[in-house]
Amino acid sequence: MDGFITGPEHDMAWLEACPRIDESVLARLAAAVGVILSGRRGYDAARAQADHRDELTAEAYGGAWTGTEIVLTHRPAELADDPAVTAWDVDVVEAVRRAQQLAAGKDVQIISADIARQALEHCLVDELQVFSAPVMLGDGTRAFDVPGGRLVEWELVGPIPGAEAAFGRIYRAR
């Protein structure tokens, strides 16, 4: 509720307080996604917290998603031994271009606030899915952090069917 999407150290435990979304809804949302773009800090945090994460936070869409996850990092060779991800050292414009090709008509989802911010700067974000949980984290990673501010206007498309309890909403960039 306070604008943070992770707690300190990229902690995702707050998702446990989120109203549960039916597995069929998670499966429907996951089916639309062909490629996920994530960041290195989030990747490292997920690996470090693996023993503490529940089924919802351990895997994308609670394990309902299968596809290609791309981790953007300046040190891709360090992730070469992880068969679950592909690592690229490219800018966000090139990453989105490549990811769209790999997605073959499906969605490219960005799960990193910093990468999403960069993509917004280049007008590469078509849609935003937002969920809320009845918690305040007070610190962590902000959903959109631009020192000095920057206005980005969104148009409400509607609720995410089946995710109303989690205040699931879809917005499109104006």
pLDDT tens digit sequence for 102-160: 999 999 999 998 999 999 989 999 999 988 888 899 998 888 888 888 888 999 999 98
d(CA 79, CA 56): 23
Range of the domain at 114: 4-173
* Beta strands in 23-165, from DSSP E residues, in sequence order: 33-39, 68-72, 86-88, 107-110, 127-130, 141-142, 154-159
Domain count, the chain: 1
Mean pLDDT across 76-92: 95
Mean pLDDT across 44-61: 72
Mean pLDDT across 63-74: 92
Contact criterion met (CB below 8 Å) for 154 and 173: yes
Tell me which of 49 and 23 has the higher pLDDT. 23
Identify the CATH number of the domain in which residue 144 sits: 3.40.430.10
β-sheet bridge partners, residue 70? 37, 86
pLDDT, position 96: 97
Mean pLDDT across 89-96: 97
Contact criterion met (CB below 8 Å) for 125 and 153: no
Here the tokens at position 39 are 């960041």
